Amino acid sequence: MTAAGDGPWLDDAAGRLVRPFTVSNGRTEPSIALDLISQVMATGVTPLGYLGPEHAQALDLCRAPVSVAEVAAQLRLPAVVTKVLLSDLVDCGALTTKPPAFHHNPTDRSLLEAVLDGLRRQL
C-alpha cells in the first residue's frame, strides 16, 4: 500500500482507497469543455492555493502535450473526474488546452481505416 502523498491511494488487494468523486469534491461538471482527445499541457505557472495530490499528479503528467484520455488512464480515474481536475488546473492558469486537431467527420472512412491499420500494427 502506498502512503497518502506517494501517488494514487491504491491498495493492491482492495483497489482505490478513496472514491473517485471524492477527488473532485463530488463535482461532475468541468468548468470548461474538454474532449477525451483534447490536448493539455502545463504552462509553468504555479497554482495558487491548495490543490489535491491528484491535481499535482495530473500537472506532472502534462509537462508535454498529452490527451485528456491519457491523463485519466495514468491517474486511474474516470474521465469525468479527470476532466474536472484538469479544468481546475486550466482555471488557475497552470494548464493550457487545445481542442482536437481534426475538424472533419470522425466517422470518415479513411480515418477509420488508418485507426484500424494502426491497431493491426500493435497486435
Is 115 inside any structural domain?
A: no
For the cut 60, the answer to whether the pLDDT of residue 7 exceeds it is no
Is 111 inside any structural domain?
A: no
Instruction: Look at residue 109 in the predicted model and tell me its pLDDT.
Output: 81
Is 88 inside any structural domain?
A: yes
Tell if the pTM clears 0.75, that is, is over it: no
User: CA-CA distance, 112 to 38, in Å (whole number)?
Assistant: 19
User: What b/e sequence results for 75-109 when a residue is b if at least 16 CB atoms lie within 10 Å of its CB, and e otherwise?
Assistant: bebeebbbbbbbbbbbebebbebeeeeeeeeeeee
Is 40 inside any structural domain?
A: yes
Residues of the chain above pLDDT 70, percent: 72
Range of the domain at 50: 22-100
Is 91 inside any structural domain?
A: yes
Is 113 inside any structural domain?
A: no
Instruction: Work out how many domains the chain is built from and give that number.
Output: 1
Is 51 inside any structural domain?
A: yes
Is 9 inside any structural domain?
A: no
